[in-house]
Structure formats: structure tokens, C-alpha cells
Structure 1
Amino acid sequence: MAPRIITALFEIFIVVVLLGVFSILIGKYFFTEELRAAPEQARSAITMELAYRQAKSDYEYFPTPKTFKAEGNANSIPILVYHGLAETEYKSDVLAEEFKEHMFALKKAGYETITMDEFEQFMRGEEQLPAKSFLLTFDDGIKTSYYHADPVLRVTNYTAVMFTISQQALKDKSRYYLTRDEVKEMQASGRWEIEAHAKDAHNLIQIGPDGEMGHFLSNRKWFPAEERYETVGEFRERISTEFRDAKTELDEGFGVNTENFAFPFGDYGQNTHNFANAQHVVWEEVHKVFPRAYYQSWPSRGFTFNYAAPTEYKIKRITVYRETSGTKLLNALARGTDKSLPHHDNLTHNRGWVPVWGTSRIHDEKLELRPDGGVSGALAFLDGTALWREYDFQAHVKSFDSQSLSLLGMFNDNENYLSCDFYDCSVSVRQVTHNDTITLATTPASQSVTVPRGDAVLGIRISENKIACSVGGETVITAEQPENSRKTGGIGFKVTDPAGRYGGATIHSVTVDSASFVEGFDEPRVVEGTGNPGLSTDFDWWVNSGGAMIQQNGVGSTLRGPANQDTEWQLAYADHEDTESGAYPQNIFRLITRSTWKDATQQVRFRILDYRASDSPHRNESNGVLLFSRYADGDNLYYAGVRVDGAAVIKKKSYGEYHELAYKQVFPGAYDLAQNPNLLPLNTWMGLKTETFNKDGSVHIRLYLDRHDNGNWELITEGVDSPDQHGPEILHAAHAGIRTDFMDVEFDDYRVNTS
């Protein structure tokens, strides 16, 4: 090679080396973080990919836990909250391996996460969610939460919500909190949503002259230079600014619309040291900025799950603690899950009893309640009973040596319930509302009442706006429910011993049956149809289809005759092929009870005013007047009644397919779709009654007819839904109700009660 070429190549090499050195020097002094970040991001991506592959392998071998079956839709939603996740013990963080176990156990047990939007739709009553749905949340925006949780979410196809501190999340570097780029990466995964946790409120402030420090949102600030506390107006403005700034910074920084706020430390003013009215002000100000705010639940706040309520803005979360196994977490969720009526608890294990104060424990097949820690009593309630309506609660009491033992009904929290209070020689009925106690009735001194101190059956029955207390199955006192009394609520026990003897009670078993629901259709009202039961404005009924149920002149009815053009229901049903362009929304009428029933007797009087020979392809011989039993949803139910072809029928609908369980001709005549389309009597009051009950693993349904409305019930047919005959039997409690097709019908004296 010529010397000139060698020299040229050498010069080029020198130039390249110099450029490289120059680039390194420039990067060292001007792009330090970028040089460090690039390999760090690469390492994080590799680490998370390896963690995902390990989690995927672990999930394949994770055992399926034994748990309750999920049937139908969820009536309530639990929300789990974690903070940081750690590889080794750090503060109170849940270990990463524990979190993995939790999620795997939930997934294998049939639980699925929901998004924040789905939760919002549920709360508004606009969307039904499957049983075993839950919302997974994290607080603070800690790095370890994301890096340890995300591979597990990826394996389980779960989603989560990160409640984020805006002043931390918008930083470009942090050793503890997620940075701006990491939050954006988290968002981009599609597995995470972000909501607001704080701007400055995660920091403590000085709350007293001696340097005491306290929570930002629940205390008035101390100004050392001025030697004074902030005024109430200054407090209100400070926290209001905090809420607004947290939302604005996150919305603008990450292109979102945060509508939910999680209180730092779960403190919304209840832990105040210097401002008694903190709770009221905090809730008032947070609600001006965020439609819903989240706090960590504790027993005195009542039920642990969240129930659909469009105006409810105080949302409960369940804190998951370290050293909680997957099995313990599943058991905790099972205890909070909605319970149906009838309910029997032999107290072999804890099915949801939650101590509010004092101590309560289940052992040796009994529930014991005792005062503790200087309090003069004890209170415990049964979680998952918030939606119970009218019921008969009976307790077999082994013994009680406190001054009084109370059975609680319509329990919502420790400040709202009804009670039957049993003493040695008297019984009182009381209402507690917002912690104010009103005595509704007390047995008079002239009435001899003996309440056994051992081996007694005590009861409280709530039905038809009345409260009844019983001893040994005999009613000893009744009282009218006040108008402001809540319509739903659960059960509980309370012992009171102001003498400080630490007396308590021992309960051997609990039985709760639905009391009868009676609808006389006496008060004028209109129950408007809605697409979802959560949107029904009526406590007792949900009109699923048919426009509305009209209640006037002492009877209930479908809509009658044609709807006027361009009216609400004509327009709503204009495109429905069964309603003749919306003229007759009542052609497909479905009236469903809000309450649920298992083994039950149901009956109604009815009168067909008119039958329409519609051109609808769904008008046929199967139309009629029918009673729903165990209506789980529109595709899973039983019905029994009489049809326009003169037959009595019992059918099951399973996953949208109908299966005939019984059929018998009961009205004379020859049915013809065109010439003789209805064999049922018009303008004649009759009665229908069904009995539905489980026996030997099958569902039995009996159908009765009162042809002449004289109380003479005739058993006309019965059917049995046996295992695996027509899909899974509907063995659990579900709704009842009435169905009519292509008719104008009146109803009266509807009732349903536990068989």
C-alpha cells in the first residue's frame, strides 16, 4: 500500500477517535442524565420482561383455590388498595411475592378487575357488572408498585388505577416515585389509569405552637411567625386550592381528566387534632372538584363494598396488609360479598361478622361479644347484608350476662340502625339515626315479659313499615317504622353493660328469612321503565320493559291503549318491532321486584282488559300472563302462568334458550293465531300463584290458579328442573315479578313470601 494512502487512513482514524472523545466529553458535561437514563430504561425493560416470564410460569402452576361460585351480576364492588410493593420488608409495604399470590388467587377464583369508567357506570346504575368484579388501586405513584405489579397484571390481564401525587409525578428524576416519563410509559401500557392523590397534601404541616406536625387536610395550620392558627376561611381556601391544583397538574401534565381523589393516609378530617369541623369542610371542598373521593374503610363505617348509588361520592377501599395470604384475601372478599335470603349461620366459621367496638370472635361454633378496652359494650354486624329489605331475624342465644342484648336491623353503620333491646323484664324498640337514639316503644310495666338469660330465641322482624320484637317466637312488642327509616340494611348484635361488669353474650346460631312483601297498589304512582334496576326510582319495583307501571284507583296496571304520538314512551319504543312503532310499549311488559327470593310463594290477582292481535313476529301462542321466579337476568329465569292458547305452562330460560318444564291445557277452545288468538277471559279477575323451592338438588315449581277470584286455589301443574337437564339449575335467590304480552292488564294484591 502506498505511503500516501496509509497516511490518509491514519488521519481519518485520528479524526474519528477525536470526534468520539469530543462526543463523550459533551455528553458527560451537558447530557449526563440522558446517558444514565438510557441504559437504566433498558435495564428496567429487561427486568420487567424477565419478571413477566417468571410470573407467567408461576401462574401456570398456581393451584386453583376453593371458593364460592360467582353467579349473576354484582350488587356491590370491592376496591383493594396497595401502597408500595417491596422485595424485602420495608415499612408496611406488601411483599412483591405476596402481591403476586394475591392476584393469582383472585384470578384463579374467578375475580376480574374493572376500569374506573366501568366502576363509574356501575355506581350510576347504568351498567351491570359480573359477580366477582373488583377495582384494583395503588396510592402514591411509587416506583416499586409499578415495576413489581405490572408484570403480574400483564399475566392476569388485570388493570389497575394509580392515585398519583402530582408534584412527584411531574418530576424528571426520582429514586422513589415514578417520574413523568415512567408515568407516561405506565399509561401507554393500557393496563394503568391515573387519578389524583395529592399535590402537597402528602406532606405534614405544623399544627401547633410546640412544633407538632399533622396531616395537611385534617388540621388547621399553625403560623409560627404570627403565633396563630389559620382561620376556617384560610383552611378552606388552602385545601380547596390543593384539590384544584392536584387535578389541574395531572390533567395538563398527562392529558387526562381526573375525576377521583384518594385521601392521603385515608384521612378526610376524622383524625384532626385541632379542627372539630374538618370532616364537613373537607368533604364539601373535595366534592366541588372531584365527583368521587376514596378513603380506607374501617368497621364503624359499615359495609366494606360499594353499592350502586348515583349521588354517593364517598367511596370505600379495603387496605391489603403485608402477611395476608391469597386464601385470607379471598376469605375477606367472601365475607363482604352480598348474602341472599334466607340466610342461616351455624357459626362454624366467620361468614362476615365485623366487630365495630368491643370484641367479637367466632369459636367452638358460637359468636361471643364482650366489652373491651374500657368501652361499656360491644357491637358487631354481618357484612354483605346492606341490600336486605324486609326480613325476620332470629338468634338462638346461648347466654347473655350484660345489662341488655340488642338485635339490630336495617343496619347501615354504627350511627344508623333499628334495634330490639332485650332486658330481664322488658323489651324496647329503638331507632338510631346519625347517632341520635329515639325510643319507639317499650313494653309497659303491667306487661309481664321474661327474657331468659340462656338458651333463648330472640328476634326482630321488619316488614310492612313495622318492627316487631319476639321472645321464643312470640311477638312481645311492635312499633311503626318512622318515615325517615331506611328501606334497606343488614343485621347485627349489640351488648350494653354500663356498670362495667364486662358482661357479654354468646350466640349459638342465626336465621334470617325474607318477610312477606305485599303490594296493594294503593297509593297513586308511576314506576318509569329503566334499562337497569339501579336506575329505578322505586324502592320495590323495576320496570324492565313496557314503558311504565301505572298505579291508580287501588290497582296497578300496564300502560293502557295507544300512546299519543311523540310522547316520551312512543318515541322510546318507536323502533321496537313488538310495539307497533311505539304505539303500544306495554306489548312486552316486564315488572321485576327489587328484592330477591329463593324458596318462595308468589301470587297476584289480575284482569286482562284488552288483547292486541299485533303483526309482531313475536306474537304467538306462548304469550300470556306469567309470574317470574328466580329472575337472575333477562336470559336466566323461570316463569309460570297461563297463555293465550289456554294452556298453563312452566318454563326455564337458560342462557337465552327456553326449556319447557310443564304444560297443561286449562281453558277450553281452539287457538288460532289469526282467527282465535286469545282463549283467556277478558275483564275477569283471576289469581295466579307459584311455589318455588329446592329439593334434592333440583328446582321444583308448582302453579296454582284461582279461576273465579274466590280464594279457591287449584294446583294445575308442576315442574322440576333436574341437574344437567336444561343447563345449570338456578338454585340461588333472585328476583320475582310479572310478565304480560300484547295485553293491557290490571294487577292487585301482589305478594311474595318465603315458603
Structure 2
Amino acid sequence: MYIDTSLRKIGVILAIVIILWGAVATTFALKDKRFGSTPFYAAAGLALQESAGRVFYSIEYALRALFAGSRDEVAPGNAAGIPVLTYHRLVFTPDGVNVTVGDFKDQMEALKAAGWQTITLGEFMEFMRGGSALPERSVLITFDDGAKQSFYTSDPILDVLGFNAVNYIIVTPSQTPESTYYLSSAEIKRMLSSGRWEIGSHSYDGHHPSPVDAAGETGNFFADKLWVPAAARIETTAEFRARVAEDLRDSRAALEKTYGVTVDTFAYPFGETGLHVFGNFPAGVGITDEEAARVYELGWLQNERGDYTFNYPDGDAFIAQRIHVEAAWNGADLLDHLEKGMGKALPYTDTLESDRGWRPTWGTVAQESGVLLVRATPQTAGASTFLDGTKHWHDYQYEATLDWKSGYAMLAGNMVNGSTYRLCSFTDGNVRLQEVVGETRRLLGEADVPALRRGNDVRLGIRIEGTSTSCLWNGRAVLSVGGLRRGAGGIGLQTWDTAMGVAALTVKNISVARSADVPAPPRLSTQTAAPPAQGFAPIVEWITTQLQSDPQPVIVPEPEEPPAPPPTPPPEPEGYSSSTIPGTLLEWLSADPEVSETNATTSERTRDRDDRRRNRR
């Protein structure tokens, strides 16, 4: 009897052990499948967070929808441009850097209620190539870094709302065993299997400060030449290019091999791109852009003050813009930002009772009591702004009624961005038409208009039609130049004065109409204009003629087609210098305060922007 009882106990104990062993083995197998090398304690917490978040948010959203009542349906048209949002981690406690889970929930629900719907990377890229239309209020949502708290905190919300997103993965951290910060390969695979997520490249191992000298000073992996300790020197240009190209190629190859998906988009670490960030190697960022374009179809840049908020079709563009969602934004803030950036239709009238998307690029811009105030600060000689949502406009007549007390009043058209546009520049008795590209201003034409004066309720304008551009004053064309490039671009306003803090415009009304819908304005009979622009040489020749003779009023004939560009001039002979230019012309060009002031202030803005980019993660 004793032996029999003992055997029975042993059998029970053995059965319990087998069951427990099976449960533990199953738990670890499930943990490895769902969480990979994530430590067990962290995986348990994430599992609880994910499941509880999904259940509680489903109930919360259903109850809120039940008592919210019906919403007005938004009749969708076709989108002129597409916004792209970018987040990093979502946190439960505000840290001043990342969006909180509560604010993210509020933002996503606000988008849903306002009729916004998410799109995929493929749909976005097809739109950018001009291959297909997308409904208005289409948005792409992205996350950077592949952090656990970008997926586990957001996925329950995206799931309930029917939204999708893209996560940009840094390869090396995702392969680091037992990371509690970054998603493991197993977690990324599970994320992809949901059907709500896509991935892109955020570098192989380039998302960290890198040493640039023997003292340990750090710089940007994709912008600076790094220190080579074994040789006690910084990299050569060839070594820089090879290192960057290797990281870009290896990142795509590793992601595609591990996850079995196509990875053809790249998010620059720290939101930087090759046009704006300068460290110890100014050419480096341009090289990075070249190499990235060889590997990927599209690269993401973080949106800045001088850029349009949305992305517009451009089959040749490699860089696209993303909106960095600020930590302080709630749902209403995000909606306001997006509504201001939405593509605007022509004809367009702005009574300036509310801000409809005027973005400052220099000085101060504010709306008060139904007017738009464009003013210099004590530290600047001028101010400028452009209207978001107008990049797709072409062939239009744009006019502004304003009070103008000093300096120059300037209207910009064909604005590709805040530093590339065509400009009608007005001052007492004179008007100029200029082409602005970055820090370079090229004079296209100039006219003396003795009756033109500063004052109140002055009506200024710019008319762009085909290859012709005209500057308008009180409804009349005072300068017209033909033979210019065709193109699209939005509208802007600028002011400038020789003294700091003086320039100011009070804008009372804006109106824009298609050129085909309004009659061409009459020409001012005393107009003097430059010939069609064919490069810098004809302009120099024309200005020299004006300086050396008594010009007669002329009307510029507009050619049917733009003239062919002049052939590339031969190399300058040895000993050639600017002294060969006629003295009066050289003095006129070098003494132009508008050019020198603009170049100086643009450089200041570029340096400020560079500092912000270096400090931003």
C-alpha cells in the first residue's frame, strides 16, 4: 500500500512538472515569436500595455462615437498636395520633446472626424510622379527610429481608427539583443504582418554623433568627414563618399533581406538633408544626397519655415517634406496646421480676417484687426512671407492693397519655395523685375515710373502668363518682360529698407485670378522695359546702354517662344578681371543695397536654420 501510494504521488508530481514545463516552454516560444530578444520582464509589460490599450481604447472610442451624434460628411475633391506627419516615440508623461499618447489619440481622432484618411507609401509615390490622383485630406503618417514606444503605443489607436503608418528603422539597433528601447526583428515582422505598417530606412548605423577630430568633438555621420584614429587624420573625400554609400546600400539590403519587403525610401537621420547642414565638410551633404538618390526612390526632409507644408507632384524630385508634429500640439493644433497648408483654388480672395496660411521666412508676420502686418525686426532690414497651399498655381494675376510708408514693397510670384521665386520690387519712381534663386538675384527688367509713390491703399501686383511677367501698379502694367521660363509656384510678400527695423507693410486685401479670366491690364504709356532675358550678358549690355544714353520709352515685344539659351562662353583669358566692366555699371551693381542686404540676411537665416537642425534629433 505504501509503495502504491508513493507511485501515485510521483505520477501526479511528474504530470504537474510536465504541464508546467510545457507552459513555460510555450510562453518563451510565444515570447520569442512576438518579442524576439526583448528581455522577458520588458516583453511582459509590453504585452500587457498592448492588449489593455487595444481593449480599453476600443471601448472608449465606441462609447464616444455612440454619443457624438452624426458628423457632416466632407465632399472630397482631388488633393493638390499631400502632407506627411512624422513622430518619434509616444510617451505617457510629457517630456517637452515627444508627443504624448493622449495627444496622439486626440490628433488621430481629430483627423478622422475632419475626413482625413491615411495612404500608403506606394500611393504617395505614385501621386508624386503624377501617375494618379488622391482624395483631398489624404495624409501619410510616419515614425522614426523604430522604437518600441512608437509601435506599442500607437498601434491600438491606428487599428481602431483604420489608419496605417510607416516606421523608419535603424538596422544596427534593431539587431541588438535584449534591447528595451528599439523594436527587435521579431517585433518588426509582427508589426508588418498586421497590414497597417510599412518600413523604410533610417540608416544602417548612421544615427549617432560621430567623432570628427582627435579631441573627440562629434559631428554628423552623413554630413561631416569623420576622424580616422589609425591614421590620425580626417577622412578624404573619397573615403567619405565610400562610407556613406556603404551605409545607404547596406541598410536597404539588410531590411529587404530580413523582412522580405521593398525598401525604397530613406529618412535622413536628425531630419537633415544635403542642402542645409554644414559642418567640417560643406560638400558632404550634397554627396550624401547624390548617393542616397542612387539607392532610394525618395528621401525625407523635415519641413522648415521656407518650405510649403504639403508635397506637390514632381516626377524629378528626390526630396519630399515631412511635418514634425510638435510635442505641444493637440488635435485642434494639428488640424489648424493642415488646413492652412491645404491646396488653395483659383480664383482666391483673402480679406485677412483670419490666418489662412501666411508663413513667415524673415522678420515678423502677424494678422491683426483684418490686416496682415509684414514688418522688420530691430535686427533685420526687412521681412517676407508666402502663402502656403499655392505651390501648384500657374498663370495668374496677383494683386495686394496695402499701406506702404518706406523702403521697398515687393510681390513674389512663381514661388517654388521661400528662396526661389520671381519678384516685382517697387519703390518711389522705380520698379524692377528679378529672378531669385537662393542668395542670387538676377535683374530681368527695370523701369522708371515717376508717378509711382508710397502711400495708403496702394494697389500692387504681378501677372504671370506663359513666358511673360508684368509688374502692376494701380491696375496698370508698368513693366513687362517676355521670354521667361514657364513654371508653377505660389505667391508672397516682402519689404526691405536700408535701415534696420524700419520696413513695414500693412496689407489690407489679397486677390488672385487666373490670367485667362481677367483682361490684360493696360500698359503705362511712359514705360521703359528691359529686353527678354537671355542670361546675364544681354542684361549687362542693356543696362550699360541705359547708363550711357538718354533712353526712349519702349514696349518689349514678347516672342512666341522663349529664345534659346546662349552658348557657354569660352574660358576667361588670363588677366581678365572685373575692371574690364564699364565703371558706371560696376558701381551700379556693387552699390545695389537690395542685393547685398538680401545675401547677408539670407546667410544669417541659413546659419540659424543649420543650428536648429544640428540640435534636433
TM-score, structure 2 as length reference: 0.77
* Paired position in structure 1 for 2:9: 10
Distance 2:71 2:308 in 1: 24
Contact 2:495/2:504 (8 A) holds in 1? yes
Letter in structure 1 aligned against 2:234: Y
Contact 2:308 2:341 in 1 (8 A): yes
**Residue 229 (structure 1) aligned to one of 234, 253, 268:** 234
The answer as to whether partners of 1:400 and 1:506 remain within 8 angstroms in 2 is no
- Separation in 1, partners of 2:246, 2:452: 61
Distance 1:399 1:68 in 2: 44
Q: Which residue is 2:590 aligned to?
A: none
Equivalent position amino acid for 2:130 in 1: G
Structure 2 counterpart of 1:6, one-letter code:
T
Q: Does the C-alpha gap of structure 1 residues 394 and 42 become closer, same or farther in structure 2, counting only changes over 3 Å?
A: closer
Letter in 2 for 1:455: D
Among 57, 68, 89, the residue aligned to 1:84 = 89
Measured after TM superposition, the shift of residue 318 of structure 1 is 0.7
Out of 385, 388, 396, the position equivalent to 2:390 is 385
On the 8 A contact 1:142/1:178 being kept in 2, the answer is: yes
- Separation in structure 1 between the aligned mates of residue 170 and residue 199 of structure 2, nearest angstrom: 10
The 3 A distance-change label for structure 1 pair 219 and 18 is: same
Q: How does 1:257-336 map to 2 (within 5 A)?
A: 257-269=262-274, 270-300=276-306, 302-336=307-341
Distance 1:38 1:309 in 2: 44
Give distance in 2, aligned partners of 1:383 and 1:49.
37
Residue pair 2:377, 2:500 contacting (<8 A) in 1 also: no
Name the CA shift for 1:44/1:386 in 2 (closer, same or farther; >3 Å): same
- Give the structure 1 partner of residue 494 of structure 2: 494
The residue aligned with 1:658 is none
8 Å CA contact 2:467–2:486 kept in 1: the answer is no
Greater strand percent: which structure? 1
Distance 1:136 1:77 in 2: 11
Q: CA deviation at 1:307?
A: 1.2
Do the aligned partners of residues 77 and 155 (structure 1) sit closer, same or farther apart at CA in structure 2, a change above 3 Å counting? same
Whether the 8 Å contact between 2:86 and 2:325 is mirrored in structure 1 is yes
Q: How does 1:88-127 map to 2 (within 5 A)?
A: 88-90=93-95, 92-127=97-132
Write out per-residue CA displacement over residues 464-507 of structure 1, whole angstroms, 9 at most, x where no aligned residue.
Answer: 4222222222222222242xx34211110111223324322111
Once residues 340 and 474 of structure 1 are traced to their aligned partners in structure 2, the CA distance between those partners, rounded to angstroms, is 25
C-alpha displacement of 1:13: 4.2
Distance 2:225 2:146 in 1: 27
Please state whether the residue corresponding to 2:202 is helix, strand or coil: strand
Tell me how far 1:220 sits from its aligned partner.
1.1
Give the 3 Å change call, closer, same or farther, for CA 490–62 of structure 1 in structure 2: farther
Paired residues in the alignment total: 512
Once the 2 structures are TM-superposed, how far is the Cα of residue 127 of structure 1 from its aligned partner? Answer: 1.9
How far apart are residue 452 of structure 1 and its match?
2.3
Name the amino acid aligned to 1:432: V
What per-residue deviation string (whole Å, max 9, x for no partner) do you get for residues 80-114 of structure 1?
11111000023501010100111100111000000
- Secondary structure (helix, strand or coil) at the match of 1:76 reads coil
Structure 2: how far apart are the matches of 1:14 and 1:514? 87
CA distance, structure 2, for counterparts of residue 209 and residue 51 of structure 1: 54
**Residue 341 of structure 2 corresponds to residue 339 of structure 1:** no
Matched, 1:422 2:426: yes
Distance in 2, matches of 1:65 and 1:315, equals: 36
Partner in structure 1 of residue 469 of structure 2? 467
Higher relative contact order (CA 8 A, sep 6+): 2
Q: Residue 316 of structure 1: SS of its match in structure 2? A: strand
Instruction: Check 1:478–1:217 CA distance in 2 against 1; reply closer, same or farther (3 A cut).
Output: same
Corresponding residue of 1:440: 444
- 8 A Cα contact 2:398 2:512, kept in partner: yes
CA distance in 2 between counterparts of 1:91 and 1:332 reads: 19
Unaligned runs of 5+ in 2: 519-559, 561-617
How many Å separate the matches in 2 of 1:383 and 1:472? 26
Give the aligned residue type for 1:462: I
Measure, in 1, the Cα distance between the counterparts of 2:283 and 2:160: 46
Contact 1:65 1:327 (C-alpha < 8 Å) held by counterparts:
no
What is the rounded CA distance, in whole Å, between the counterparts of 1:334 and 1:324 in structure 2?
14
Is the radius of gyration larger for structure 1 or structure 2?
A: 1
Change (3 A) 1:86 1:67: farther
Cα offset, 1:8, TM superposition: 2.5
- Stretch of structure 1 that moved more, 497-506 or 286-295: 497-506
CA deviations over 1:121-157 (Å, ceiling 9, x no partner): 2122222211111111111111111111111111110
Do the aligned partners of residues 414 and 40 (structure 1) sit closer, same or farther apart at CA in structure 2, a change above 3 Å counting? closer
Change (3 A) 1:211 1:252: same
Q: d(CA) in 1 for partners of 2:20 and 2:333?
A: 59
Tell me what 2:479 maps to: 477
Deviation of 1:383 after TM superposition, in Å, equals 0.8
- CA displacement, residues 312-349 of structure 1 (integer Å, 9 cap, x when unaligned): 21111111111212112111111111111111101111
CA 1:440 to 1:426, structure 2 compared with 1: closer, same or farther past 3 Å? same
Residue identity opposite 1:245 in structure 2: D
Which residue is 2:197 aligned to?
192
The amino acid across from 1:268 in the alignment is: T
- SS of the residue corresponding to residue 153 of structure 2 reads helix
Where does 1:315-714 land on structure 2 (aligned, <5 Å)?
315-372=320-377, 374-401=379-406, 403-444=407-448, 447-482=449-484, 485-516=485-516
Structure 1 length normalisation: TM-score? 0.64
C-alpha distance in 1 between matches for 2:440 and 2:39: 63
Question: Closer, same or farther in 2 for the Cα pair 1:330/1:41, shift >3 Å?
Answer: closer
**Greater Cα offset, 229-238 or 370-379:** 370-379
Question: Deviation digits for residues 23-75 of structure 1, max 9, x if unmatched?
Answer: 99999999997865774564345224334324523651686999995532112
Whole-angstrom CA distance in 2 between matches of 1:40 and 1:501: 57
Percent identity for Structure 1 against Structure 2: 32
Cα 1:265–1:246, aligned 2, differ >3 Å: closer, same or farther? same
Q: CA RMSD in A?
A: 3.0
Distance verdict in 2 for CA 1:154–1:232, change over 3 Å: same
Secondary structure of 1:384's counterpart equals coil
State the alpha-carbon separation in 2 of the partners of residues 11 and 239 from structure 1.
65
Output one character per residue of 1:242-300: Cα deviation in whole Å (capped at 9) or x when no partner. 10111111111111110000011111242221111123211100011101111111122
Question: What do residues 650-703 of structure 1 show as CA deviations (whole Å, max 9, x unaligned)?
Answer: xxxxxxxxxxxxxxxxxxxxxxxxxxxxxxxxxxxxxxxxxxxxxxxxxxxxxx
Contact 1:52 1:154 in 2 (8 A): no
Paired with 1:469 and 1:129, the residues of 2 have a C-alpha distance of 36
Aligned mates of 1:228, 1:307 — CA distance in 2: 44
Secondary structure of the residue that 2:152 maps to in structure 1?
A: helix
Cα distance in 1 for residues equivalent to 2:466 and 2:7: 104
Q: Deviations over 1:342-396 (max 9, x none)?
A: 1110111110101112111112111111223733221100011111111111111
Structure 1: stretches of 5+ with no match in the other structure: 519-553, 555-755
3-state SS of 2:163 partner: coil
3-state SS of the aligned residue for 2:172? Answer: helix
